[in-house]
Amino acid sequence: MNSIKKFINLKNRFVDHSEDIRDGDTFVSIKNGYSNLSAELIEKANYILLTSPGPSESNKFVNISELKEKYIKDIEEIYGLKENHFNKFFVTGTNGKTSTIHFLRQILNFSESSCASTGTLGRFINNKFYGSQRLTTETPIFIRNFLRECEKNSVQNILFEASSIGIEEKRLSGLSIDHAALSNISRDHLNYHGNIENYVDAKMKLVESCKQTFTYVKQDQLSERIKNSFKGNALYSISIDDPKSDISINVKKIFKDGIIEFTAETPWGNFQNGVKLFAEYNLLNLFLGLPFFLSCSKNIDLFSNSLNTLRLPNGRMQLFEKNEKRIFVDFAHTPDAIKKTLINIKKTKPRGLILVLGAGGDQDQGKRAEMGEIAENYADYLIVTSDNPRFEDPNEISKMITSKISKDFNFEIENDRGKAIMKAFKTLKEYEVLVIAGKGHEDYQIVGNNKEYFSDVEEVRKCLELLD
């Protein structure tokens, strides 16, 4: 077998997730995915291609293991795709990927440059939502189907969130890394990578493979490694209050309503502006996309003029206000992200700061105590609650979070997340701030094998109704 071309009907598609199978599709089984197929799905599929040896009792099952290294290229050829016709931008980092992509997509739309994006918030083409996705960085076949949609819509510029796991599992296989960026690296996903060194190594693969521009937020030790690893055309550093950076941002003032007054010095001109982003780190996320923007549009004024139109993604520093009470729903779920969020909110000088947080189950356990210590340092009152416990006992997770908190700190455990939010709200006084961290835009909780509907945003709205 030299090709998989005979196994596709162009009226249908290649898919690699059982939930995506429609009548006549060809299903590519990754990591024994065929074992999850029902008789009904097998009947729907045109063929089931096995990337490793599997069942052969049906003519629908075809072993393509010898084509494993080239089947993506075959799919591109069948689809008629030429991925190098797209101008692509990839952003990685522990925190900030989603915001960077979200800001850049808005700016490109403002400048009337055709644009698509894929990541945590789903797929967007020319500012239209095209559906959610299961992974931050999706599978190669999923991405090829997305590219096919982009081509149909005459999109030229595509933005990708590149997770460390996605990079490590080669989900970006076959894509040229034109432009890329690194927001930051702090502890996360060590349940997968094993240690911080492996985690950093995964992120660095994006640096090493980038061909044109790479932009990064300066971090001690990491910056030098980036300089030594990068082999592309142009490298740009970015920081706040470091004039030696290629892009240097100076924050003048953060107002209570979230507007940040700032100046920025860049190789392409200087900025003086105000933008409603609430937190300083969002300025870094914003300017990470500047070199890529200039590869799409040479008019830097369009970048500057777009800033007062920007909106934060849902679940990222999402503010609710009523009767002088302020509530933020935020996705912060790592020690570093929680710390930065709380520091920035405290700069608005609230009378008190209440925090609700939890930690996901079956993931990095080592970060839990760190999260508790940060809460003690920056919050006045903490309620520890359930996040996505998965197959762990929520109470045991909460105990880990509070394990290093001093006895005289004001905290409690309430593992019913809805009750925890309501309890925190009822303690909230005028001119105080409540931060609900960890889930942000998510509208579910994962308990065991079940994905149950739950939304922090909806819970907050229920609380605010009590003030009517």
- Transcribe 26-43 into DSSP letters: EEEESTTGGGG--HHHHH
pTM: 0.91
Q: At what angle do helices 417-427 and 456-465 cross, to 10 degrees?
A: 40
User: What confidence tens digit (pLDDT) does each residue in 45-55 have?
Assistant: 999 999 888 88
Mind giving me the DSSP string for 123-158?
Answer: EEETTEEEE--SSSS--HHHHHHHHHHHHHTT--EE
Residue 463 tokens read as 């609380």
Residue 66's pLDDT is 84
| Residue 70 vs residue 229, higher pLDDT | 229
Please measure the distance between the N-terminal and C-terminal CA atoms of the chain and give it in whole angstroms: 69
What average pLDDT does range 132-149 have in this prediction?
93
Q: Percentages helix, strand, coil for the chain, rounded to the nearest 5?
A: 35, 25, 40
Q: How far apart are CA 172 and CA 90, in angstroms?
A: 10
Judging by beta carbons within 10 Å of its beta carbon (0-12, 13-18, 19+), is residue 99 exposed, middle or buried? buried
Residue-wise pLDDT for 217-268, tens only, equals 999 889 999 999 999 999 999 999 899 999 999 999 998 889 999 999 999 9
Q: 318-465: which CATH number, 3.90.190.20, 3.30.465.10, 1.10.150.20, 3.40.50.300?
A: 3.90.190.20
Residue 2's pLDDT is 63
Structural domain boundaries of the chain? 5-69, 83-309, 318-465
Strand 444-447 to strand 450-453: parallel, antiparallel, or no bridges (unpaired)?
Answer: antiparallel
Q: Report pLDDT for 325.
A: 94
Is the model's pLDDT at 72 over the cut of 90?
Answer: no
With a CB cutoff of 8 Å and minimum separation 6, the contacts of 110 are 302, 305, 306, 309
- How far apart are alpha carbons 332 and 251 in whole angstroms? 22
Find out whether 26 and 15 touch, Cβ atoms under 8 Å: yes
- Which residues, listed in sequence order, are joined to residue 117 by a DSSP beta bridge? 124, 159
Specify whether the CB–CB gap between 398 and 384 falls below 8 A.
yes
Task: Say if CB 296 and CB 157 are below 8 A apart.
Answer: yes
Beta bridge partners of 238: 217, 247
Of 63 and 374, more confident: 374
Please name the residue that has the structure tokens 């905290």: 411
User: How far apart (Å, rounded) are the C-alpha atoms in residues 273 and 259?
Assistant: 10
Task: Assign domain 83-309 to its CATH architecture.
Answer: 3-Layer(aba) Sandwich (3.40)
% of the chain residues with pLDDT over 70:
99
Confidence class of residue 387 from pLDDT cuts 50, 70 and 90? Answer: very high
381-384 and 411-413: which strand pairing? parallel
Distance separating alpha carbons of residues 226 and 76, to the nearest angstrom = 32
CA–CA gap between residue 205 and residue 68 (Å, rounded)? 22
Side-chain-side CA neighbours of residue 184 (13 Å): 19
Beta bridge partners of 253: 261
How many beta carbons lie within 10 A of that of residue 252, not counting itself? 10
What 3-state class would DSSP assign to 262? strand
Where does the pLDDT of residue 59 fall: very low under 50, low under 70, confident under 90, or very high at 90 and above? Answer: confident
Per residue in 277-330, pLDDT tens?
A: 999 999 999 999 999 999 998 888 999 999 989 999 999 999 999 999 999 999
Place of tokens 């702090």: 186
pLDDT at 1 (0 to 100): 52
Separation CA 225–CA 223 (nearest Å): 5
Give every CB contact of residue 464 below 8 A, 6+ residues apart in sequence.
320, 322, 327
Confidence of residue 461 (pLDDT cuts 50, 70, 90): very high
Q: What is the homologous superfamily of the domain 5-69 according to CATH?
A: MurE/MurF, N-terminal domain (3.40.1390.10)
The reply to whether 5-69 and 83-309 are identical in fold is no
Average pLDDT, the chain: 93
